[in-house]
Amino acid sequence: MKSNLRYAALVVFAACAARYGLAQAPAPDLATSFAPLVQWRKAVLSGDRVGLKTLYSTAPPARVTVPPDQSNPDADVEFWAGFKAQSIDLDILQTTSPQPGVYVVQFQAEIRSGVPPAESQTFYVNEGQAWQQQGSEWRLVVVQRTNAAHLKQPVNQDKNIYPVDADAHAEIKEAEREAAKEHKRVLLVFGANWCYDCHVLDLAFHRSDFAAVMAGYEVVHVDIGPDGKKNSDLAKLFQVPLDKGVPALAVADSAGKVLVSQKNGEFENARAMTPEALLQFLNKWRP
């Protein structure tokens, strides 16, 4: 239920870029051919702190922000080099070139970290970069990024996970019938489209390594509405205290008997969770 402030990097980034007069406009996807971005990726992959540092502008000083706080190039270099990345893939979300000598890119990075003792962990970072040509070199003048997360982070909240016109009562009854036929359990996910962490959880449920465990559930999304009070009777029935935050989960059998319900907002900060923690819960309560 927490605000999306910390993870709204791409939104705030636009304002930061505007400070430098870098108004955005549609442009072709230049990411694969933009040499400075390729150089940045190689420096991250090799852990080249010196090479990374040279990519930040000094005049004007590069502005680095990790909402809601300000950062600096030195800290940003340590952040990226600290992954000891075994691989890094960039999912380019948008590229713009509003004027000659200016290049703006927004991406989500998927990093396979080699930091011991937990080698080969995967992290996700959303970042916006504004590059400016200074003489013969390109330099980063604005950087806006999220903190590293173990789960993929949505770049927007456009997906209609909780349709306004959905009848949760009817959907639960249908899910119970299907669960009885297929020997499954019913997974109720209380939340709302405005809830950033609900979108994080939805992305996690659709991971390929979650497919086997999710096959044991009939999933019903229960909308709590803009004020958090919609379907409050269902929250009470399935013993989910909504004042503790959403997303909140309950598992029931095909007869509607509650097997477990979250009482303390355990998934309310889903953005900071690991896939292992989610799988542990789902594996514990699947049939």
Report yes or no on 101 lying in a domain.
yes
Site of tokens 């927007």: 156
Residues whose CB falls within 8 Å of the CB of residue 154, separated by 6 or more in sequence, listed in order? 196, 199, 200, 203
Report yes or no on 160 lying in a domain.
no
Q: Are residues 10 and 140 in the same domain?
A: yes
What CA dihedral angle connects 196, 156, 4 and 144, to 10 degrees? 140
Q: What is the CATH number of the domain that holds 250?
A: 3.40.30.10
How far does Cα 176 stand from its chain's mean position?
Answer: 31
Nearest to 191 by CA among 256, 261, 245: 245
Report yes or no on 230 lying in a domain.
yes
Whole-prediction pTM: 0.81
Report yes or no on 18 lying in a domain.
yes
Tens digit of pLDDT for each residue in 250-260?
A: 999 999 999 99
Boundary-marking domain end, from 80, 112, 145: 145
Residue 61's domain comprises 5-145
CA distances (Å), origin 162, targets 30, 186, 270, 282: 35, 17, 17, 21
Report yes or no on 157 lying in a domain.
no
Report yes or no on 281 lying in a domain.
yes
Cα–Cα distance measured from residue 211 to residue 216, given in angstroms and rounded to the nearest whole number: 9
Q: Are residues 196 and 109 in the same domain?
A: no
- Residues 190-211: what's their mean pLDDT? 97
Residues whose CB falls within 8 Å of the CB of residue 262, separated by 6 or more in sequence, listed in order? 240, 244, 248, 249, 250
Cα–Cα distance measured from residue 216 to residue 8, given in angstroms and rounded to the nearest whole number: 34
Percentage of the chain surpassing pLDDT 90? Answer: 81
- Residues 24-38: what's their mean pLDDT? 64
Element (H, E) at 18: helix 9-19
DSSP labels for 130-194?
Answer: EEEEETTEEEEEEEEEPPPBSSPPPS---S-SS-TT--HHHHHHHHHHHHHHHT-EEEEEEE-TT
> pLDDT confidence of 24, banded at 50, 70, 90?
very low
Q: Are residues 273 and 181 in the same domain?
A: yes
Cα–Cα distance measured from residue 213 to residue 280, given in angstroms and rounded to the nearest whole number: 10
Boundary-marking domain end, from 112, 145, 178: 145
Q: Are residues 123 and 201 in the same domain?
A: no
The total domain count for the chain is 2
Cα–Cα distance measured from residue 16 to residue 104, given in angstroms and rounded to the nearest whole number: 12
Residues whose CB falls within 8 Å of the CB of residue 235, separated by 6 or more in sequence, listed in order? 190, 222, 224, 241, 242, 248
Q: Are residues 36 and 136 in the same domain?
A: yes
User: For residue 49, how many C-alpha atoms fall within 13 Å in the half-sphere facing its CB?
Assistant: 10
Q: Contact, 218 vs 185, CB < 8 A?
A: yes
Tens digit of pLDDT for each residue in 3-20?
A: 443 333 344 444 444 444
pLDDT value of position 20: 47
Tens digit of pLDDT for each residue in 219-268?
A: 999 999 999 999 999 999 999 999 999 999 999 999 999 999 999 999 99
Q: Are residues 187 and 124 in the same domain?
A: no
Q: Are residues 193 and 272 in the same domain?
A: yes
Q: What is the CATH number of the domain that holds 137?
A: 3.10.450.50
Q: Is 16 helix (H, G, I), strand (E, B) or coil?
A: helix
Q: Are residues 231 and 268 in the same domain?
A: yes
∠ CA 79-146-2, rounded to 5°: 135
Cα–Cα distance measured from residue 271 to residue 197, given in angstroms and rounded to the nearest whole number: 6
Report yes or no on 231 lying in a domain.
yes
Q: Are residues 21 and 89 in the same domain?
A: yes
Q: Are residues 141 and 9 in the same domain?
A: yes
Residues whose CB falls within 8 Å of the CB of residue 245, separated by 6 or more in sequence, listed in order? 1, 2, 265, 268, 269
Other CB atoms within 10 A of residue 42 CB: 13
Q: Contact, 66 vs 145, CB < 8 A?
A: yes
Q: Are residues 263 and 227 in the same domain?
A: yes
Report yes or no on 110 lying in a domain.
yes
Q: Are residues 112 and 217 in the same domain?
A: no
Higher model confidence: residue 202 or residue 94?
202
